[in-house]
Structure 1
Amino acid sequence: MRAGRLWIQLRDAMNVDKAYKPLFTALFDQIKRLNPGYAPLRAYGSIIISSPTAQAFYHSDVSETVFLHVRGDKRFRVYPPHAPWVSEESLEAILHKDQTEDIPFDPAWDADAAVFDLEPGDFLSWPLHAPHRVENTGGLSVSITCEVVTRESMMKNAVLHANGVLRRFGITPKSADAQGVGAYAKFALSKSWRLAVRLFGAKRPNPKSETTFDVDLAAETGFRDRATV
């Protein structure tokens, strides 16, 4: 980890580990006390350990995120959550699991980014779907990342997912608005489509779950890419 270029994500560790779960519960209890009206439906906490030279490339998450930094120095660049920095079509594809969260990046967009240099003890959150990229800038890095589902994020994602369904039938969506009667109709369409896919769709792996490398401690980066056909 110290010499390579690796990320280890202990998924849901904050939810299931007996030592961490009380801390995770207390964290969100405090956030809710400090922010009246904040009512997350679900939250999942993972621990991320990464090498001093590791980075996360430009991507967009489909959950709201609360990020707590524990060890090392880290630089975040956060970009506006709309076109041209991220397209609705890309978000639809992510929600339909047609692609990972990685999306096209133009280096010129760095001029539009908000830059945050994190030290241990810092806390960061950003707007839903805002693209971001991350670089470790000093030492082995340890962080806690919390994926949060709120009513607002659930509705917005349902509308985008439903728009992706409409495109499959050759219909160009007129709006991605998550308010009003149309949004509730798209919410119902999204739920119905997900159920149909679960019952009748072909099984396929989530793009993120596909293993494309092997850990190789002899390699300079700590891993070796698998050959692709």
Structure 2
Amino acid sequence: MTAQGSITPGKETMARIFPDSARVAFTAAYPDRAAALVHDLAGHPLLEPAALADLAERMPAGSVEYNLGALPLGVRPDETPSNGLTLGETIRTIETNGSWAVLKNVERDAAYGALLDQALAELEPLVARWTGPMLHREAFIFLSSPGSVTPFHMDPEHNILLQIRGSKTMTVFPARDEELVPPCKSEDFHKGGHRNLEWRDAFMARGVPLLLEPGDAIHVPVKAPHFVRNGPDVSISLSITWRSERSVAEGELHSFNALLRRWKMPVGKITPQPEKQRARRFVYRLMRKLGA
């Protein structure tokens, strides 16, 4: 697939990243269901390995995470093994070094920021009617060696993952399933706890696998658990994310429940539309302001 959606910083392009079919599928699923989409960024020059290695080497160390990719589905954060390479070496030899890497907040680079802006501008009118303005817009780039595994985890953002090179299978599980993500795990997560989740083989039947090849994409709802298995070639994926009043409200209410639980008080139920639980959010914000 050619990169019809290419951007030169400072210039606009008329070509769209998401065709009409993707916009229809996204509208039908957002915000609560996963959905298969398509895009037109495969082959984009900013997303080629050499460009990404250069980007990685000029990024702050805190904006990069990388490790060995041969991992089980469930792994403790402190047990994730290092690959013993520098970041540049990891990316330039990703085909053979058995690693996984993520470049975080690449939108801080002007060219990648323009790419994110174009992609989200195409979806913003569809998003606004359900969850309001797009907040805290970010982009992440994932590079994976053949056969790498991203363990079972969840993310706090609305997310669309675009497959650029190679293939991977993402298995997505329902959001708000308290057996998959117990309330205490959500509360810890929103206090800064790690994204990885406890894996049980019995969970597998609840997941829906989706094969992603160049030009494919998937919408992943906020905190929908998932894991990823890379295919037989190097994989490059772009993740475009945003927050909303709904995702912010959910975080506030889980944080409020964590306080109540610590004080041995009854916790509150968090509804599918937490942004409407204004009274509880007001109390939590007041308590936070008072230093509780």
> What is the TM-score with the length of structure 1 in the denominator?
0.77
- 2:86 maps to what in 1? none
1:66–1:148 Cα contact (<8 Å) kept: no
- Tell me how far apart the structure 2 counterparts of residues 123 and 5 of structure 1 sit (CA, whole Å): 24
2:128–2:134 Cα contact (<8 Å) kept: no
Higher strand share: 1
- Tell me how far apart the structure 1 counterparts of residues 120 and 200 of structure 2 sit (CA, whole Å): 35
- Tell me how far apart the structure 2 counterparts of residues 186 and 152 of structure 1 sit (CA, whole Å): 14
1:2–1:52 Cα contact (<8 Å) kept: yes
Higher helix share: 2
Structure 1 position 111 matched with structure 2 position 205: yes
Q: CA deviation at 1:26?
A: 0.8
Structure 1 runs, 4 residues or longer, greater than 6 Å off: none
Q: Bigger relative contact order, structure 1 or 2, given CA contacts below 8 A and separation 6+? A: 1
- 2:152 maps to what in 1? 58
Residue among 88, 91, 109 paired with 2:186: 91
- 1:150 maps to what in 2? 244
Percent identical among aligned pairs is 23
Q: CA deviation at 1:184?
A: 2.2
Q: CA deviation at 1:171?
A: 1.6
Task: Output aligned runs, 1:184-203, within 5 Å.
Answer: 184-191=278-285
**Change in 2 beyond 3 A, CA 1:192/1:66:** farther
Task: Output aligned runs, 1:19-168, within 5 Å.
Answer: 19-33=111-125, 37=129, 39-81=133-175, 82-97=177-192, 99-168=193-262
Letter of the aligned partner of 2:121 in structure 1? Answer: D
Query: CA RMSD, aligned part only?
Result: 2.1
Structure 1 position 8 matched with structure 2 position 98: no
Residue among 98, 101, 110 paired with 1:18: 110
How many residue pairs align between the two structures? Answer: 194
1:148-197 per-residue CA deviation (whole Å, 9 max, x = no partner) reads 101111111111111111111112313123254xx323323444565677
Q: CA deviation at 1:78?
A: 0.7
Letter of the aligned partner of 1:6 in structure 2? Answer: S
2:162–2:237 Cα contact (<8 Å) kept: yes
1:61-102 per-residue CA deviation (whole Å, 9 max, x = no partner) reads 1222121111110101111121212112111111112x3111
Letter of the aligned partner of 1:142 in structure 2? Answer: I
Letter of the aligned partner of 1:113 in structure 2? Answer: G
Q: CA deviation at 1:42?
A: 2.2
1:47–1:145 Cα contact (<8 Å) kept: yes
> What is the TM-score with the length of structure 2 in the denominator?
0.61
Q: CA deviation at 1:32?
A: 2.1
**Change in 2 beyond 3 A, CA 1:72/1:196:** farther
Q: Which runs of 5+ in 2 are unaligned?
A: 1-93
Q: Which runs of 5+ in 1 are unaligned?
A: 201-229
Letter of the aligned partner of 1:152 in structure 2? Answer: R
Q: CA deviation at 1:118?
A: 0.2
1:163–1:176 Cα contact (<8 Å) kept: no
- Tell me how far apart the structure 2 counterparts of residues 146 and 193 of structure 1 sit (CA, whole Å): 33
